[in-house]
Structure formats: structure tokens, C-alpha cells
């Protein structure tokens, strides 16, 4: 997975990438596209690759990155808020998306504080009408999603879904940590056991991720994580927690190290995972790919 940059055209209050003291969404770092492509050409980590931000389309070399990835992978998954300068001249953008074709899967999120639902619906429809693969059409369950907006999105018949919020509540606390954090308004969609694998363990593992709080675990754990994340600082990380904190003591290595010779942790190409010892608590978005055991 490539986290091309953390900056974003939006500033959602519930963003998981927001720190209380230093907002990572303002982090100006961005991946070096040539370096990352070279690394991926040498190291075939997976058959598909995911691209996300912040808002990845804001990366100045976004087009070059995608064209390079299309040469290397049979499938490229792009997560985007479907807004911002890359989409401004929409007909031209759509023509480019068509040229890239169906090897790309577009996962989109509508954040109602920043885009009119009508504009989002129109773009989703145009992308689909162009024959492209657009899978996720969703909005996180927050106070920004009013009944009126959800009705519009629902009635548009575009396969729109409400997402369980994995982010911050209005007080800045990371949620969900328990069933009480799950908004009961949309009960049918929000059965956490359905949306979050190992939900029971998740409740135990998650924590208040506020940077004023304490990230440390009480005891060291052995972590087996299958996240292979390249961050905007061109470092490889085993999870979002350490990537967002730019915690280089847990960075596995740097993309310039093409043979991964000096990588601190070993990536198992057979099991497709890292094994490392960690004394930090996980981010909710990492939990699904992590198994930990006390050491």
C-alpha cells in the first residue's frame, strides 16, 4: 500500500490522520515516485497495489505514479474523496481515467462537509457510465451525515453505503472502542461484528489514540502484520500507527534500499508478513491485519 502524501484538500474533524498537537494532514512530505516505482519493480510484494493519502490525487506526480503502477500490477486500487484540483476539469479527468481503464478500482468516499451530495452523485454516475470500475461509494457515520444528505445519497441508487467510523469522535477520541461508540442510528448497517473482523479482540486492542495520551502498551508484544506500507517519507512501515507518527524506530527500511538488505525487520515473502516486537498500541485501521502475542 502506498500512502503517497498525508495532506488533503479536506480537514474532516474525524480524520484518523489528525493529531491533537501536530496535524499530519499538513505534513508536506510526498513519496518520490521514481524511487518507489524502482523499489516495487525489484520487489513484487503483492499482485495488487493500493494507493491512498491524505488525498492521493493531490500528489504532483500522481499521473506518473499510476501509469508506472499500471505497468507493474494487474490491479491498482485508488482511494479518493473524488474532489480537489485533479477533478476540477472533470471531462478531461474522466478521459484520462478511461485511458487507464478497468485495471483500476476506484474506492470513493463522500465527506458531506466538503462536497455537495449532488456533485458526488454526478461524478459517481459519470465514472460508472464510462465503464470504469468504481466499487466503494460510502460515507462515514458522523454528525456531518444528516438525514437529508443520507436520503439523497440513498435515493440516487448508486450503491451508497454508510461506513462505520474508524476515526475520531467530536472530542478527538479514536473510535470505536466499544459498542457504545457505534452510532445506533443506522443499526442495520452498523453491526460491527459484520464489518470488523475479530471485533471482540478489537475492543481490547484499540485505545485512545490522542497524542496527549499514552501510546505505550504495558508489555511488549510480538506482532505479525501483513501491512507493507510505503509512507510519504519513502520509508516502509509495518502499520498505519507508526507511519502516521513517522516513528522511524519502527520503520522497516527505506525504498532506496532496493534489495531490502538493511531492513530492520524481515518481510516473509511466503507468509506475506512482518514479525516484530512492539510496545505501541495499534490504530483501529491496522487491527484487521495484525496478530499479537505477549513476549
Site residues for ligand SF4 per CB under 6 A: 8, 10-12, 15, 17, 25, 53-55, 81, 111, 221, 223, 225, 238-239, 241-242, 250, 276, 278, 280, 282, 286, 290, 292
**CB neighbour list of residue 220: distance below 8 Å, 6 or more residues apart:** 277, 278, 279, 294, 295
Contacts 24+ apart (CB under 8 A), 227-231: 227/1, 227/274, 227/286, 227/289, 227/290, 228/1, 228/45, 228/46, 228/267, 228/274, 229/1, 229/2, 229/3, 230/1, 230/2, 230/3, 230/31, 230/36, 230/39, 230/255, 231/3, 231/29, 231/31
Nearer to ligand SF4 among residue 54 and residue 68 (C-beta) = 54
Nearer to ligand SF4 among residue 57 and residue 150 (C-beta) = 57
What is the Cα gyration radius of the chain? 19
Name the DSSP letter for residue 102. G
Q: How far apart are CA 31 and CA 16, in angstroms?
A: 20
Q: How far is the CB of 8 from ligand SF4 (least distance, A)?
A: 3
Question: Residue 288 phi/psi, 5° resolution?
Answer: -65, -25
Nearer to ligand SF4 among residue 68 and residue 238 (C-beta) = 238
Q: How far is the CB of 263 from ligand SF4 (least distance, A)?
A: 14
Beta-carbon count within 10 A of 121 CB: 20
Q: How far is the CB of 41 from ligand SF4 (least distance, A)?
A: 27
Q: How far is the CB of 130 from ligand SF4 (least distance, A)?
A: 23
Nearer to ligand SF4 among residue 37 and residue 51 (C-beta) = 51
Q: Which three three-digit cell numbers place residue 244? A: 502516521
Nearer to ligand SF4 among residue 37 and residue 246 (C-beta) = 246
Q: How far is the CB of 234 from ligand SF4 (least distance, A)?
A: 19
Q: How far is the CB of 13 from ligand SF4 (least distance, A)?
A: 9
3-state class (DSSP) for residue 55: coil
Nearer to ligand SF4 among residue 111 and residue 182 (C-beta) = 111
Q: How far is the CB of 4 from ligand SF4 (least distance, A)?
A: 11
Nearer to ligand SF4 among residue 38 and residue 291 (C-beta) = 291
Output the CA–CA distances (angstroms, integers) from residue 22 to 119, 135, 144, 211, 288, in the order listed: 32, 33, 23, 9, 26
Amino acid at each position: 500500500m502506498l500512502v503517497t502524501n498525508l495532506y488533503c484538500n479536506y480537514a474532516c474533524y474525524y480524520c484518523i490522520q489528525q493529531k491533537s498537537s501536530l496535524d499530519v494532514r499538513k505534513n508536506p512530505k510526498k513519496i518520490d515516485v521514481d524511487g518507489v516505482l524502482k523499489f516495487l519493480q525489484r520487489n513484487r510484494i503483492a499482485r495488487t497495489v493500493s494507493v491512498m493519502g491524505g488525498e492521493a490525487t493531490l500528489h504532483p506526480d500522481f499521473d506518473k505514479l499510476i501509469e508506472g503502477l499500471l505497468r507493474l500490477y494487474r490491479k491498482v486500487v485508488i482511494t479518493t474523496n473524488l474532489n480537489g484540483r485533479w477533478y476540477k476539469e472533470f471531462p478531461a479527468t474522466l478521459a484520462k481515467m478511461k485511458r487507464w481503464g478497468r485495471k483500476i478500482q476506484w474506492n470513493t468516499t463522500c465527506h458531506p462537509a466538503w462536497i455537495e451530495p449532488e456533485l458526488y452523485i454526478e461524478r459517481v454516475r459519470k465514472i460508472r457510465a464510462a465503464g470504469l470500475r468504481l466499487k466503494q461509494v460510502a460515507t462515514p457515520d458522523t454528525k456531518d451525515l444528516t438525514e437529508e444528505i443520507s436520503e439523497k445519497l440513498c435515493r440516487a441508487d448508486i450503491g451508497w453505503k454508510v461506513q462505520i467510523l474508524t476515526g475520531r469522535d467530536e472530542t478527538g477520541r479514536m473510535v470505536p472502542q466499544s459498542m457504545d461508540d457505534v452510532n445506533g442510528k443506522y443499526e442495520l448497517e452498523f453491526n460491527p461484528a459484520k464489518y470488523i473482523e475479530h471485533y471482540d479482540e478489537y475492543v481490547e486492542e484499540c485505545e485512545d489514540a490522542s497524542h496527549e495520551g499514552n501510546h505505550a502498551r504495558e508489555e511488549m508484544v510480538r506482532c505479525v502484520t501483513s501491512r507493507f506500507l510505503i509512507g510519504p517519507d519513502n520509508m516502509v512501515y509495518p502499520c498505519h500507527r507508526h507511519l502516521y507518527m513517522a516513528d522511524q524506530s519502527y520503520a522497516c527500511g527505506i525504498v532506496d534500499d532496493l534489495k531490502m538488505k538493511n531492513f530492520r525487520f524481515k518481510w516473509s515473502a511466503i507468509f506475506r508478513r512482518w514479525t516484530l516486537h512492539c510496545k505501541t498500541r495499534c490504530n483501529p485501521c491496522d487491527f484487521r491485519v495484525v496478530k499479537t502475542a505477549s513476549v
